[in-house]
Structure 1
């Protein structure tokens, strides 16, 4: 069992909201500029520039500034029209999926306005309109809004009362499957020549279990088989041993290993352990999901492990590294909306 923490990770093109959040993280929360720069995928100089512009002009100083040059095309299409376009599903224009690409926007604009423009112009205008190319968050259509509201009205007060009564530490728990097949990132290569990354064709993986708290702490254990009630009980017992004199409130989903008779019997036998379950289909409410997302897309991207032993050593090292960065853990925690319930 290991204990630790983290910060906010973001990359790519900065939005106004990101620039404001970065400035406030330094000026209001007192976070080090270096940590803030790392969390938002930029450098210290950029954050210093944002702070200076904010000090001189307030929120307006953080807006994108228009450049000089020849008169632009598409003057008749203002930023709001770009918003109106991309906030509609692309299927409304005959495409097979809802997602917009620069190519699709380019085609629709040319056909609508009867103009000939470059894709670079569309790319620039989208950015100037405050729109960025992002991977959508999963929205679980099976999620029951009424059940979520009921949870907030009935379960949340019980959780808060338990925390207050026992001065309990709150943890959010989840598990994942870490595969030998890596998640490949991007790299530079000659145009028209797709780069190749050597990976193993072997199947298999490991199953980590972790828990994250707003106290900048990350606990985890690695298992070599699929998570079942036995592993959940073992992990909860480790948490209790880690905090020998404290009550723990643990929030987890409704997966079968969490709600089986065996697991519930163990929970009922532990007076210092108080477990609550999220509403069904609510992984977006669990901050620990952010841990696995960060591990997959940042720490383990394009890994070279070829055996389960190598994968286990790599995952253990990466999770330990994440846990040793309190600002990273804190950032991962507060990227989840449910964190506001326990602020």
Structure 2
């Protein structure tokens, strides 16, 4: 929300519940959600007065609106339905498409600016969607919540264990480019290497914002997963670890499973298939690639490995950043 003037209803709910249910300090929640402490305190006051309903955006006075017949719920029903239901080729909504729908179906002629304002007031923001795989099974995910989550919590309590979510990623030599200011009509240039390749990496994050990581010069296979799990056990010599990871082949191979079975302090659980959105560690890589390494100038794998290690080490020292990353994940 940083840099903007609107907060969504969902964001306000999640922020308040982080304070109420997770007992996180207001300062930590404010930083995690890109706002200031006074705003979070104001949301808390509204929540105490009216519960969840108190966090809805309040109506304001003014001239009657052209879209006064379309309330927030009606607007949300339109936007949350696929745009293809209204005759468009793809499922994505733009203000231009909404203007066309209002004109063709409701006979209301409005500007894109008006539509944008009403979208914000309805608690909607313009976002890049996360991938959701066609193969995803919602039944399997719900079964996982009902059966595996209690087992994970029980293992943490029984062994006094530290809970980690693990994931791996490939960091590419081809940098992601951000935006910058330039004269109108003159597209700026950014030098990048034309070489292919990258660095493989693994990391694991805890709810408290602890981050462990390991870099590799080759593709991650079973042995690399075992090496990282061994590193985690060595880092916590006297503690049990509960590690949640996805079902990638190196994670469920016979070799990896045999190693896990041989370690009495290691308890591994696997996420449902095709559920990267349920892994908080996935957000670590998203932050690294889109923030820390955006527009990087590494020209070789060696330079990229050094740069990636430096950035991850810096992130590992920023507990507030990592706690925010963890608790923005829906499963957290």
Residues 16, 309 of structure 1: alpha-carbon distance in 2 compared, 3 angstrom cutoff: same
Alignment counterpart, residue 300 of structure 2, candidates 289, 307, 311? 307
Residues 316, 15 of structure 1: alpha-carbon distance in 2 compared, 3 angstrom cutoff: same
- TM-score, normalising length: structure 2: 0.86
Alignment of 1:113-192 (within 5 A): 113-192=106-185
Residues 189, 81 of structure 1: alpha-carbon distance in 2 compared, 3 angstrom cutoff: farther
Gaps of 5+ in 1: 1-8
Contact 1:151 1:279 in 2 (8 A): yes
Alignment of 1:192-211 (within 5 A): 192-211=185-204
* Paired residue total: 327
Give the corresponding residue for 1:286.
Answer: 279
Pairwise CA distance, 1:104:
1.0
- How well do the aligned residues superpose, as a CA RMSD in angstroms? 2.8
Alignment of 1:292-331 (within 5 A): 292-331=285-324
- The CA distance in 1 between the partners of 2:299 and 2:8, in whole Å, is 39
Contact 2:200 2:219 in 1 (8 A): yes
Contact 1:10 1:39 in 2 (8 A): no
Give the corresponding residue for 1:265.
Answer: 258
Give the corresponding residue for 1:4.
Answer: none
Contact 1:207 1:225 in 2 (8 A): yes
Contact 1:11 1:40 in 2 (8 A): no
Pairwise CA distance, 1:69:
5.4
- The CA distance in 1 between the partners of 2:131 and 2:54, in whole Å, is 33
**Greater relative contact order: 1 or 2 (C-alpha under 8 angstroms, separation 6 or more)?**
1
1:186-209 deviation digits (Å, cap 9, x = unpaired): 333444444433322221110110
Alignment of 1:11-90 (within 5 A): 12=4, 13-22=6-15, 29=23, 31=25, 33=27, 35-42=28-35, 44=36, 47-49=37-39, 51-52=41-42, 55=45, 58=49, 63-64=56-57, 70-90=63-83
For the residue of structure 2 that corresponds to 1:276, the secondary structure is strand
For the residue of structure 1 that corresponds to 2:308, the secondary structure is helix
Pairwise CA distance, 1:226:
0.8
Residues 248, 27 of structure 1: alpha-carbon distance in 2 compared, 3 angstrom cutoff: closer
Q: Judge which range, 313-322 or 143-152, deviates more.
A: 143-152
Contact 2:8 2:120 in 1 (8 A): no
1:236-259 deviation digits (Å, cap 9, x = unpaired): 111111111122222211111112
Contact 2:315 2:322 in 1 (8 A): yes
Pairwise CA distance, 1:70:
4.6
- The CA distance in 1 between the partners of 2:324 and 2:39, in whole Å, is 22
Contact 1:54 1:61 in 2 (8 A): no
Contact 1:180 1:204 in 2 (8 A): yes
- The CA distance in 1 between the partners of 2:19 and 2:268, in whole Å, is 35
For the residue of structure 2 that corresponds to 1:143, the secondary structure is coil
For the residue of structure 1 that corresponds to 2:199, the secondary structure is strand
- The CA distance in 2 between the partners of 1:30 and 1:279, in whole Å, is 28
- The CA distance in 2 between the partners of 1:125 and 1:285, in whole Å, is 31
Contact 1:50 1:62 in 2 (8 A): no
Residues 296, 269 of structure 1: alpha-carbon distance in 2 compared, 3 angstrom cutoff: same
